[in-house]
Amino acid sequence: MSELLMFVEIPKGSRNKYEWDPEVGAIVFDRYLYSSVVYPADYGFITDTLGEDGDPLDALCLVSDPTFPGCRIPVRAVGLFKMIDNGEVDDKVVCVPVDDPNWKGVETLDDISDQLKTEISHFFAIYKQPEGKIVEVQGYRSREEALDTVAAAKQRLLAAK
């Protein structure tokens, strides 16, 4: 499972929160972020998964330039960002695009700058504060744990069918 497919809901740099709505069969506008922060990477989910929160497993793709909602990116998982959102597990797989030469040498979290990891962590720690929602950032985990989380989310989806 070296290559995964990510579905982009929100491009890097956006304050608009979009979500895939399976009932509508399209991406819908959810809200404008209350915080004056922007998504630090393309954000969406790993296709064909079911996270512990009942939604597809969240993913961040570190991109050179933002893509667009609905874009599918072949990605490589490099780590896992763990957090609790309103009491529910809300893990995010940290990925890089397979075919972007700027991210070619990135295989694990150690290959990502501390500055970027801090920016991602800070974003998720504060982005829901103005809404009065509680988020607990639990930090980064290894590529192996990310791949285990993806495998479990794929199994969870199969079991739910």
136 is in an annotated binding site: no
143 is in an annotated binding site: no
100 is in an annotated binding site: no
Examine the residue annotation and report whether 42 is marked as an active-site residue of this protein: no
9 is in an annotated binding site: yes
Q: Report whether 15 contacts 38 (CB < 8 A).
A: yes
31 is in an annotated binding site: yes
48 is in an annotated binding site: no
Residue 47: both structure tokens together = 């296709």
User: In angstroms, how far is the first alpha carbon of the chain from the final one?
Assistant: 21
Among 30, 55, 90, 114, the one annotated catalytic: 90
- Write the CB contacts of 110 (distance below 8 Å, at least 6 apart in sequence): none
Instruction: Give the strand pairing for 58-61 and 16-21.
Output: unpaired
Catalytic residues: 90
Which residue ranges make up the annotated binding site for substrate? 17, 31, 43, 127
Which residue ranges make up the annotated binding site for Mg(2+)? 9, 53, 58, 85, 90
Which residue ranges make up the annotated binding site? 9, 17, 31, 43, 53, 58, 85, 90, 127
